[in-house]
Amino acid sequence: MSDINIETSSYQGMALCKILYENLKGLGIFPALTGGLLYKDGFRKDIDIVLFRHRQDVMSFETNQHDIQLALLRSGVEITGFYGFITKAKWKGIIVDLFNPETKEFFDDSEYGDCE
């Protein structure tokens, strides 16, 4: 993958959410656009997406689960790192942050958490 950061628009964020929806809905996981693409005008440095579960069908999930990773790959999303509730990824050269607010995974890193 290239280290060049590509700016993105809300249209690209919505397109990715639609692709993710098609590949994750069978697992009871659903994407929701958030962050700057949703709240601000213009181009942004990344796409922020919250992944949430269908509460009646799925008790919990983690983005490092094999079936979820396969669904992300089918969507063209390449995972680049796991940081607790944030999964870093790339899609068509665009940085993607996937958020799982219910994660049970713990990551102790000053860049994303309170470890000091």
Say if 113 falls within a structural domain. no
Parallel/antiparallel/unpaired status of strands 94-99 and 46-53:
parallel
Phi/psi region, residue 12 (left: phi>0; alpha: psi -120 to 50; beta: rest), is alpha
pLDDT band at 1 (very low <50, low <70, confident <90, very high): very low
Counting residues of the chain whose pLDDT is more than 70, the rounded percentage is 86
Q: How many other CB atoms sit within 10 Å of the CB of residue 106?
A: 8
Q: Global pTM?
A: 0.83
Average pLDDT of every residue of the chain: 86
pLDDT in tens, 19-47: 999 999 999 999 999 999 999 988 999 99
Whole domain around residue 37: which residue ranges? 10-99
CATH number of the domain within which 49 lies:
3.30.460.40
Say if 109 falls within a structural domain. no
Q: What pLDDT does 116 receive?
A: 36
